[in-house]
Structure 1
Amino acid sequence: MPIHCPPSLLVSLSLWILWCFMMPTHCLPYHKTSPCTLTQKTALCSKRKLSSVPLDLPNSIEELHLNHNNIQTLQDHSLSRYTSLHTLSCADNSLMTLGSKVFDNSTNLTNLNLAANKLHHGYQETSLALAMLSRLKVIDLSENQLEDQMATVLLQNMTSLEYLNLSRNLLLRLDENSFSNLHNLKELDLQRNMLFELDQAFDHMHKLQRLNLAFNYLPCLVDFEMTQLLVLNASHNALEWFITNQDLQEPFQLETLDLTDNNLLFFPFLPTQSRLRNLHLSQNRLSFYEHLEENAAYTNLTTSVQFYNLKGNGSNVTAQLWDESLHGDISSLDLLDLSGNQVGYLPLGFISKMPSLTRLRMRTNCLTVFNLTQEKLPRTLYELDLSNNRLTAIHADQGSLRELANLSYLNLSYNYMESLPSKIFSSLSSLSSVDISFNSIGICLHHKRGGNVGEEDQSDCVVWRYINSLKQLYLSGCNLQMLPSSAFTGTPLVHLELSNNPELLFEPSSMTELTGTLHYLGMGNTGFRDFDFSPLHHLKSLNIARNSLTQLPASLQSLELGLLDLRDNKLITLSSRQANTLALNLKTLFLSGNTFDCCHLDWFQTLKGAKGLSIMDREDISCQDLTSRTHRVDCLNSRLDSPICGGSEEESVYWYILLVIVPVFSLVGISIIFILTFNPRMLPKTIKQKCWKPTSY
């Protein structure tokens, strides 16, 4: 029977055929056998063991990712079909060269990633290919073993670039010819090369805003005058000096300066007009020398230093070791990090020059005394880190503490303090986190209402009551003897660390005020034997490591813990009930350092099979068998064999054999004795026949 199509269907079919004739690539289906994955107009072809660019992709793709393949050359015209391509990534392919005509039809390409290849082999031909990319904005040439001249050749005609990554190459020295045509560059990454000299390499790059020079070998940055720069990272070099051109009238736009891990001896000479917000100076040898002349132990010393040939004109400049006019404008600083230096004091008025400072980090220095009254810390300060110094005292009065109304984080740990103003912390209205670990500071038994903090109010204990803002408190290693009743009344602690106080005694109601707020409790190495955890029904994390516990506290079964640390105790086993309870809620568990019984590990199988529970030190958990041999618990089968526990089926067979052999030998012995008793001549006769033999002579 003939089939008649409706006129509308015939018209639609005709139009479809005409469209496919004019635009064939839109009608052909994508080959299912292709190794790539298509996501809209992005082709994902990474890690497919490809040796060339796939030719069966849709012509309309805009992004092509070919990372981690085996492509050694991008052949001419291998990308000619993909005229809409704006992103091409060929990282980690062992690429040695790019065909000079490979980008002839890639006029829309703006982003090119060639990182982790071997372009040092064919860099000259590759440079001809890159010269065709008139719209390229971003290129990554990192980790290609490029030397100075190679990089210059590759980049000589790339005038449209805005971002350039040359990190992890072999660059030694840069001069005015290295980036001569990169007038539009905004970000340059040169980290992890071997740079030791920069000779006017960036003078013409007036749009450069971010420069990364980290992990090189630069000895100094002198006469720095890149006023347009926003971020400069020169960390992890060998810098001894950082000196800006302070004669410039134009204000510097620099917001972040990172000089971490260098050899700076002096505070950097910053611009006289600056917007600097973040100054990172940690891990240097920086100090202040204003008091050097006052030290009678040193004679014939000067308080000035001479800088020769700073501008190459043979003149010299003499500067005082501390001169605010030379050290520049620090009025906009938000963060000052001086950690890991040799600072023994701060010059008078130094901090007052930073009225916007919010974070002051001075851990691991040589401070002996810190006077909050003299230093006049700004009201904006919310983080103060003075940990790991040589502090023996903190001086403060009520007025200076009132000025610190925004201070939220205070770290005084790892010092030598034995006394503090007893109500110093209760006078800080916004204090959220305090760490005084490893100082000999106790907890006051009684709270005295009223009164002001003064210089004479020094005490060997601190009041922790009625600090409404305090959430985190670290008292580890403070030689605490007693945790008194209601020690934290009116203080809604969420995190309390009491570890490393081995002689600490807990009064029964010492934590009753924390039942509704406490989430983390650290009681490692406190020597406790029994403690009722059941009132702390909001507790989520508990550290009771290093306490010589022989059994798990029964009160833990009433908690819904997410983390439990039981390391380095004397636990032998856990009951099935305890294991099942812990398995319900625990997410993280530490168990190593205990000597468990290898013959009673059913609890371990329960915990190991619990869904969502990670036993973090599982490979380090050990147990002992009946012969005191040590085994890794994770290597034992769930059903233990006879050599370990002496209770399996194989051992029962040995016992049966032993039970049979003993009576048999006993019966044979008795028979021999019986025969020899009634026939005593048999034995000598037998011995004579078997053993006596005539000699040959």
Structure 2
Amino acid sequence: MGASFWLILIVVNDVAAFKPPQQSSPCEVVQMDVFCNDKNLRSIPDKLPPGIQKLDLSRNLLQNLTQEVLAVYTSVHHLNLHSNKIHFIQPGIFNGLTNLQVLDLSRNNLDAFAALKKDVGRLTSVETLDLSDNGLYTGMSDYFLRDAPALMNLSLDGNSLTKIDKSTFAGSSALRKIHLHNNVILEIKEGAFESLNDLTELDLSMNSITCITDFNLSQLKLLNLSKNSLELFQAIDIDTEYELLYLDLRENKIPYFPVLPKMNRLMYLDLSRNRLRGVNTSDTTEEGSLKDQDGLSQQDLSQLIYLDMSFNQIRSLPSVFFDRMMLLKTLNISNNCLETFSVSHETPLNSLKTLDLSFNAMQNLSFEHNTLLSLEVLYLQGNYLNLLDSSIFHRLPRIRELHLQQNYLSICGSRPQVSQKPHHHKCVSFSSIPTLRYLSLSGNSLEYVPQKAFYGSPLQVLDLARNPGIFIHEYAFSSLETSLTHLTLKENNLQSLNTDLSVLINLRFVDLSTNMLTSFPLSNKDSSIEILNLRNNGLITLDYDTVVALEGTLKTLYVSSNPLSCCINPRFLNMVQASNVKIPDLASVTCLYTRGSKNVEMNIANVLPEHCKTLDSKSLNILIVVVTSVGLIVILVVAFKLCHMKRRRHNSSFKA
């Protein structure tokens, strides 16, 4: 009995002394921030450090939010519950979190909670709330917003809201930014945003709104209505000054220019990808009535900096439309139906820096003197330009880039005499434009690039591609020796290069692909070329001097689709196989070498020294003939000398 007692006592003491090891938290603690994201958690950890300010529980498996654990963390400022499976929130759970400012509940199943028709409770100090991607229907967001007096930033993106009522934001009167992107909103009830006096940013993009009439949110600074089904946008006709700076109406069905507030500060206006047929504000004739033109001039666009009307059906632009756009810097009218465009003294557009008129149907283009004084970039590609004033681009004192591809222009040999009156020529001058750095004339059916075509224009990039049959004068690139860095001559059917590219001492990029070149000579051993594209030509190899010139700087070489020889130039083979030269198309670069009486094709990367050690039979026969001939000549010379010496000895002994 005594022994049993002591045995039991020992066991009890051991059990009492045993403490199970405390489970360490799966979360990462960085100062006062705790990161529990991506841990497959099904509940909120209950033993986190006190006083934490940020708690990240995103991308877990949480389903229910209850007070028993969360109420402990009253110090939390930022709570991230993004991408869980939350479908129930205990009402009033956030009441005690008086320090909570940012609450992210996006990508959960909150539609199930909203179906219970219970309010989430008071959000005492929450300033930013994200409820996006929760499957919320119309009216469901009210259960989260009914008592959020401090809320300033709200996201309801990616839900299924169809209507915005006057009561939707009634409990969140401090809202400044509302994001409703990617819902199915069809209707906005009158006065829905009326109580939000501080609202400055409203995103309604990617919905199903068909019209905005009597727009009266004068305090808004940003309004995004892109990707809806808008056919009308009209501001209310009042004298109140609007704060609107940014208006995005792209990708809608608007046929007429929107009626903007009379007094506004609009700086950014995007009307691209609509159905504009002109810039009238109503359905008028193509020419427009005087009343309509007066209406256009009254549109307050005096602060506008950016205007995009691309991808519409605009056929003409009355000059009066630009009258008050004194600050406009970017104008995009590409992909329309314009046949002509002119800038006159009445509307000089002297603040404009970028003008995009590409992909229209333009045949006529004119800029008067002292207009477009700030223009730096001009896009004109994809038009029908043929006859222009030869000095038209000399009138642009700050022009840096000319995008003229896909037209029908020709290049003048020297700058014609500048006339005060525009005179149309069959060619355009690109010389003596001291600010020009970029010029693209690809796809213009150019036949000839004359001598000194770009003299006095310090081009850095020149694109003359896709002009099959073009002839480039030997001195076409005169004066570009130190400026040109990029040259494109691809798809021109060139059989040879008349000009020596090695004189362009700063040339970094050269594209000669898809021509008929059989050689690429470089006479200057100090080439600067770093990227060279020689694909799809007739090259058997690169000359020894060319390889030597390229070896110091070349970084990338394209050389596939050429009838290359594997062994004719070992130095070229070594350059191709060298690790310091990148060959992006190496897998398709093949070469030929002779084995016996057959030509064998193989990938150039697989060529080994033994493939080129033994000369082919033809070369061997030539070598044998040469060696034999040299040997015979040596033998004959030696024999001749011996005979001559013997004869001299014989003659000497006879005389004695």
Instruction: Give the alignment's TM-score, normalised by structure 2.
Output: 0.78
In structure 2, the residue matched to 1:487 is 453
Whether the aligned pair in 1 keeps the contact of 2:413 and 2:453 (CA below 8 Å) is: yes
Q: CA 1:114–1:411 in 2, change beyond 3 Å: closer, same or farther? A: same
In structure 2, the residue matched to 1:677 is none
Whether the aligned pair in 2 keeps the contact of 1:580 and 1:606 (CA below 8 Å) is: no
Equivalent position SS for 1:287: coil
Question: Residue 480 of structure 2: which of 514, 520, 523 is its match?
Answer: 514
In structure 2, the residue matched to 1:353 is 324
Asked whether 1:66 is paired with 2:32, we answer no
In structure 2, the residue matched to 1:452 is 419
Equivalent position SS for 1:121: helix
Distance 2:255 2:582 in 1: 47
- Specify the code of the residue in structure 1 equivalent to 2:455: T
Distance 1:261 1:595 in 2: 50
Of the structure 1 ranges 83-92 and 99-108, higher mean CA displacement relative to structure 2 is found in 99-108
Whether the aligned pair in 1 keeps the contact of 2:503 and 2:524 (CA below 8 Å) is: no
Distance 2:572 2:60 in 1: 48
Distance 2:510 2:460 in 1: 12
In structure 2, the residue matched to 1:228 is 219
Asked whether 1:404 is paired with 2:372, we answer yes
Distance 2:526 2:117 in 1: 69
Shift of 1:294: 7.2
Shift of 1:416: 0.7
- Specify the code of the residue in structure 1 equivalent to 2:325: M
Q: CA 1:71–1:349 in 2, change beyond 3 Å: closer, same or farther? A: same
Equivalent position SS for 2:209: coil
Distance 1:126 1:518 in 2: 70
CA deviation profile, 1:331-354 (whole Å, cap 9, x unmatched)? 221122111111111124111132
Give RMSD over aligned pairs.
3.9
Distance 2:161 2:566 in 1: 59
Asked whether 1:366 is paired with 2:366, we answer no
Shift of 1:196: 1.3
CA deviation profile, 1:509-531 (whole Å, cap 9, x unmatched)? 22231121222222121223335
Q: CA 1:590–1:193 in 2, change beyond 3 Å: closer, same or farther? A: farther
Matched length: 583
Asked whether 1:281 is paired with 2:252, we answer no
Question: Residue 237 of structure 1: which of 197, 208, 228 is its match?
Answer: 228
- Specify the code of the residue in structure 2 equivalent to 1:386: L
In structure 2, the residue matched to 1:393 is 364
Q: CA 1:561–1:639 in 2, change beyond 3 Å: closer, same or farther? A: closer
The unaligned stretches of length 5 or more in structure 1 are 1-30, 296-301, 305-318, 648-697
Question: Residue 539 of structure 1: which of 507, 511, 516 is its match?
Answer: 507
Equivalent position SS for 1:425: helix
In structure 1, the residue matched to 2:347 is 376
Shift of 1:40: 3.2
In structure 2, the residue matched to 1:463 is 429
Whether the aligned pair in 2 keeps the contact of 1:354 and 1:378 (CA below 8 Å) is: yes
In structure 1, the residue matched to 2:397 is 429
In structure 2, the residue matched to 1:252 is 242
Asked whether 1:157 is paired with 2:147, we answer yes
Distance 2:361 2:63 in 1: 59
Whether the aligned pair in 2 keeps the contact of 1:392 and 1:418 (CA below 8 Å) is: yes
- Specify the code of the residue in structure 1 equivalent to 2:421: G
- Specify the code of the residue in structure 2 equivalent to 1:243: Q
Asked whether 1:417 is paired with 2:389, we answer no
Whether the aligned pair in 2 keeps the contact of 1:504 and 1:526 (CA below 8 Å) is: yes
In structure 1, the residue matched to 2:42 is 51
Distance 2:157 2:232 in 1: 24
- Specify the code of the residue in structure 2 equivalent to 1:535: V
Q: CA 1:605–1:77 in 2, change beyond 3 Å: closer, same or farther? A: farther
Identity of aligned residues (%): 31
In structure 2, the residue matched to 1:106 is 97
Shift of 1:171: 1.2
Whether the aligned pair in 2 keeps the contact of 1:267 and 1:327 (CA below 8 Å) is: no
Equivalent position SS for 1:154: helix
In structure 1, the residue matched to 2:194 is 203
CA deviation profile, 1:79-132 (whole Å, cap 9, x unmatched)? 344333211222222333334465354321111222222222223679755x34
Q: CA 1:106–1:283 in 2, change beyond 3 Å: closer, same or farther? A: same
Whether the aligned pair in 1 keeps the contact of 2:502 and 2:522 (CA below 8 Å) is: no
Q: CA 1:49–1:294 in 2, change beyond 3 Å: closer, same or farther? A: closer
Equivalent position SS for 2:234: strand
In structure 2, the residue matched to 1:298 is none
Of the structure 1 ranges 510-519 and 42-51, higher mean CA displacement relative to structure 2 is found in 42-51
- Specify the code of the residue in structure 1 equivalent to 2:127: K
- Specify the code of the residue in structure 2 equivalent to 1:267: F
Q: CA 1:583–1:229 in 2, change beyond 3 Å: closer, same or farther? A: farther
Shift of 1:198: 1.1
Equivalent position SS for 1:461: coil
Whether the aligned pair in 2 keeps the contact of 1:288 and 1:321 (CA below 8 Å) is: no
Instruction: Give the alignment's TM-score, normalised by structure 1.
Output: 0.74
Whether the aligned pair in 1 keeps the contact of 2:415 and 2:432 (CA below 8 Å) is: no
In structure 2, the residue matched to 1:344 is 315
Asked whether 1:141 is paired with 2:112, we answer no
